Amino acid sequence: METKKLQEKTKNGSKKIQRKLMFKTAVAVALVLVSVSNLQCRAKVASSRGAGSSKKTNKLYLFPTRAAGTRNATMSTRLAKQTLLPDSSQLSTDLIAKDLPFPDIPPIDTNQVVTLPFSSGTTGRPKGVELTARAMYASGAIPAYRESKTGWVLGMLPFFHIMMTMNFHVTLYLGKPMIVLPGFTPETFLRTVVKYRLDMINLAPPLVTFLAKHPIVDKFDLSHVKHVKSGGAPLGKEVERAVRQRLGIQVLQGYGMTEFVGCGCRTYPTIGKIYQRTERESCCFAPYKNPEATRAAFTEDGFLRTGDLGYIDDDGFIFIVDKLKELIKYKGHQVAPAEIEDVVNSHPLVADYCCVRGRDLGTGEEIPKAFVVLKEGATLTSETLMNYVAAKVAGYKRVREVEFIDTIPKSLSGKILRRELQAVEDKKLEMQQSRL
């Protein structure tokens, strides 16, 4: 790759390029990389470091631009000694400019654990998952970018997330350069897509919703974009349809987990047929240092329990309904929150949304409840929104309560943290019962 292009990438997203160098170096010397976001709270950083291996490190390597805020927000001197690295952009430029010798590195054991990513913690505490070189390589061999005609791939998702971890491995495997943006701003994102004539983009659902609804999108010609791949959380068919109608872009959803690295992408409403290379011994490794979770994670014949509710039709296509832990049981029926959220999101005045198990305070019965964020300046009553949903779903799936709030809690990778709002609802019921 040309030095000029590498330098250009360094200016755009040098911190993430450093992660590539760090990961490859760690693997070469048989270390295990544990990725931690600088935005995480101190407790979560401590939890990540608690994943320590038999060769514990007492070092945290920080870039100067992150160090000041990190000391106060996330890191404690009780966790580790901090070492400041040179400014990352300068470090990358120095490495590019110099003709450095590369020592011979012996082949690594394919069963060697190379990284310990943490799951998102959508339904519970994040779990550290051991991933081997073999699992990473096998998933990297999946032809995720072969249909892309452009030479560039956009790195837009957090690098501590498994989807982005695999994206940069796949780009290296296929010899494609990656453009890395240090953060999301609407105009910079759109200008980058246009400048590099990207024909395929990987995005989290909130950014797909941005393409569907934000007025600034109309100012840019995105006719060269053929596919958007959404991953990290479910994306409703209404958002997919809105992107297709507005921009003529096909939206594909990825289905995957931190535990099994790879994923398959297919058009809504199915996740496709069983994907190649996903039935294999190296597909996943169980939660780290948690034998009980390991036993619970697998069936007797060795298949991973994903925690999803779904079905396979007569043609072999797989449909995912929702997570088992999050289903709402209303009058003997099972209601999937994701289905209701898709309808709520289709309302033109709704900016964000989340559906949880509410409670009928009279009977204690579970009911579908929606938390909703309205667009700026919009006004909407609970009754109007409930009637809107009722006209589009079966009777037992109707929203029985709406609460308007300012923000929907989400993980750093863009997933809705339904469990946090569920905890609020459970607390309300507990307080109500204590008064009786």
**Per-residue confidence band for 65, with pLDDT thresholds at 50, 70 and 90:** very low
pLDDT of residue 376: 87
Is 2.60.120.10 the CATH number for 137-280+304-324?
no
Question: Mean of the per-residue pLDDT values for the chain?
Answer: 72
- Split at pLDDT 50, 70, 90, the class of 79 is very low
pLDDT at 270 (0 to 100): 57
Do the bridges between strand 153-155 and strand 131-132 make them parallel or antiparallel, or are there none, so unpaired?
A: unpaired
Asked if pLDDT for residue 271 goes beyond 90, the answer is no
What pLDDT, on the 0 to 100 scale, is given for residue 46?
47
What pLDDT sits at residue 274?
59
pLDDT band at 115 (very low <50, low <70, confident <90, very high): confident
Instruction: Give the whole-angstrom CA distance, residue 96 versus residue 196.
Output: 22
What pLDDT is recorded for position 80? 40
Residue 312 has pLDDT above 70, yes or no: yes
Whether 14 contacts 88, CB under 8 Å: yes
Q: Which of 46-50, 144-148, 191-195, 290-294 has the highest mean pLDDT?
A: 191-195
**Domain locations along the chain:** 137-280+304-324, 327-435
Q: Which residue from 387, 389, 335, 386 is spatially nearest to 365, judged by alpha carbons? A: 335
Beta strands in 222-291 (DSSP E): 227-230, 250-256, 263-266
Please state the length of the chain: 436
**What single string gives the DSSP state of each residue in 393-425?**
S-GGGS--EEEE-S---B-TTS-B-HHHHHHHH
CATH number for region 327-435 = 3.30.300.30
Higher-pLDDT residue of 246, 1? 246
User: What is the reported pLDDT for 428?
Assistant: 81
Most confident of 36-45, 164-173, 223-232, 374-383: 374-383
Highest mean predicted confidence (pLDDT) among 55-69, 158-172, 265-279, 407-421: 407-421
pLDDT of residue 175 exceeding 90, the answer is no
> How wide is the angle at C-alpha 3 spanned by C-alphas 187 and 145, nearest 5°?
60
Residue 389 tokens read as 């949903």
Query: Rounded to 5 degrees, what are φ and ψ at 356?
Result: -135, 180
Of residues 379 and 264, which shows the higher confidence score? 379
Q: Return the pLDDT at 98.
A: 56
Query: What pLDDT is attached to residue 359?
Result: 87
Task: Yes or no: say if 193 and 51 are a contact pair by the CB < 8 Å rule.
Answer: no
Give the pLDDT mean for 278-307: 66
pLDDT at 345 over 80: yes
